[in-house]
Amino acid sequence: MKLHEFQAKELFAKYSIPVQKGTVIENPQQLDGLSLHFPLVLKAQVLVGGRGKAGGIKLAKTPAEAKQHARAILGMQIKGETVKRLLVAEAAEIGAEYYLAFIVDRGAGRLVAIASAAGGIDIENVARTAPEKIAKVALDPFLGFQSFHARGLGGQIGLGGALLTDFVKIAAALYHLCTTEDAELVEINPLAVVGDRLLAIDAKVIIDDNAVFRHPDLPKNEELTELEQLARASGLSYVELDGEIAIIGNGAGLVMSTLDVVAHFGGRPANFLDVGGGATEENMAQAIDIVARKPGVRALFVNIFGGITRCDDIARGITASPPPVQMVVRLTGTNEEEGRKILQAAGIHAYLDPEEAAQRVVSLVRGR
C-alpha cells in the first residue's frame, strides 16, 4: 500500500526525520488563517508519479497566488487520478540534493540501503546512466542497520562534518521506520541541504500489504477502486481492467494466464479475479456479484482447476448467483463430476478444455 506524501511525512515526523512545516488542505478556503510563512509550495497529493511535470507542484509568494494555484490544482486530473488534497508547506531554499532509501531487494532476498549524491531525479535513471553515483549496502536482518553502515554510505556520497552527522541520524531513523512500520520501500528524494541541515523534501513510503494486520492505525488504502475494496473485504483478489469479458478463476497464476489466453484469442478482459484456494460457494457467488457490477461487462468466463477448491462448491456458487450476462464455464479437478451435474441441472454446459472455452467466450462477445 502506497502512502500519500503527506501521510509519509506524518510518519517521518513521528520518527524525528526533519520535514518542512506544512499542512494538508482539501479546498482553497482552508489557506486562510494558516500560520505558515511565505513563500509556500503547494503539492498535489496523488499516488501516481510525474505530478511535477503535470503542473501539480507550484510555488506561491503571496496569499493571492496560493489561492489561485490551489484552485487550479485541486480537482485536476493527473494520469487519471483526481487531486483531492494539497500539501501546503513552507518553501525551502534548497542546496545540494541527495537520495536515501531502504528497499526490499527481491532478488537478493535482503533489505538494501541506497544512497546517492544525485538526488532530486529519478533514481532508476541514475542507476542506468551513472551507477557509480549510487552507494548500496545489503543488510542482515539480525544485525540491522548500524551507524557504521550509515557513516560508510554518507562518506561514499561525499558527506562530511555536521551534514554527515545529520545523515547518520536520518538514515537510522528511516531504517527504524521501515522495519517498525513494515515498509517494503521508504525513500527520501531529495534529501536536501537547507541552510546547514538536511531536510526531507519529498517522502515515499510503501507499506507491505501482508503486514497491515500489525498496523491497525495506518490510513486506508487509496490505491484501490470501490469494487477492489469490496472484493478485498470479501477475501477476494480483484483488479479492474478496461475490457468487456469478466474473468473469475482460482489461483493467481491461473487467472493471469486466463487473461492472456482470452487476449490471445482476441478478447479484452474486464478484470482479474482470483477466488483463492479453497473458495466456498459464498466466495464464488460474491465473486460473480462483484465482477458483474463493473460497467461495460458483456460476458463472464469462469476458469476453475479444482485442487483445494472443489468444483461442486464452485458450481453451487454459480447457480446461487447467476450472472446478468452470458457465461462460459470451464471446470476440472476435485469433485468435477458433482460440479458438472449441478451446472447441467441449471442448463449450464461446463467445458473441459480452457482454450476452447476461452475461444467460446470471445466469440460470444463478438456476436458470432
Say how far apart CA 296 and CA 315 lie, in whole Å.
25
Catalytic position from the list 187, 228, 281, 336:
187
Name the minimum Å distance from CB 307 to other proteins.
5
User: Please, what sign has the CA dihedral across residues 200, 201, 206, 207?
Assistant: positive
Q: What is the DSSP letter of 138?
A: E
237 binds other proteins (CB under 8 A): yes
Q: Rounded to 5 degrees, what are φ and ψ at 60?
A: -130, 130
187 binds other proteins (CB under 8 A): no
Residue 99 appears among annotated catalytic residues: yes
Q: Considering only residues 57, 96, 211, 292, which one is a binding residue for other proteins as defined by CB under 8 A?
A: 211
- Print the binding letters for residues 21-60 with other proteins: x by CB under 8 A, - otherwise: ----------------------------x-----------
Which of 218, 246, 298 shows the shortest CA–CA distance to 3? 218
Question: Taking a C-beta distance cutoff of 8 angstroms, is the pair 259, 269 a contact?
Answer: yes
Q: Considering only residues 21, 71, 197, 214, which one is a binding residue for other proteins as defined by CB under 8 A?
A: 214
| Cα 146 from chain centroid (whole Å) | 30
- Print the binding letters for residues 76-115 with other proteins: x by CB under 8 A, - otherwise: ----------------------------x-xx-xxx----
Q: Which stretch binds other proteins (CB under 8 A): 17-25, 26-34, 150-158, 271-279?
A: 271-279
Residue 98 appears among annotated catalytic residues: no
Question: Taking a C-beta distance cutoff of 8 angstroms, is the pair 78, 54 a contact?
Answer: yes
Three-state DSSP class for residue 366 = coil
Catalytic position from the list 5, 81, 98, 99:
99
Written as nine digits, the cell of 89 is 508547506
249 binds other proteins (CB under 8 A): yes
10 Å CB burial of residue 82 (0-12, 13-18, 19+) is exposed
Written as nine digits, the cell of 94 is 534548497
Active-site positions? Answer: 99, 187
Q: Which residues bind other proteins (CB under 8 A)?
A: 49, 104, 106-107, 109-111, 124, 127, 140-142, 179, 182, 184, 208-211, 213-214, 237, 239, 241, 249-257, 259-261, 263-264, 269, 272, 274, 277-278, 305-308, 332-334, 353-355
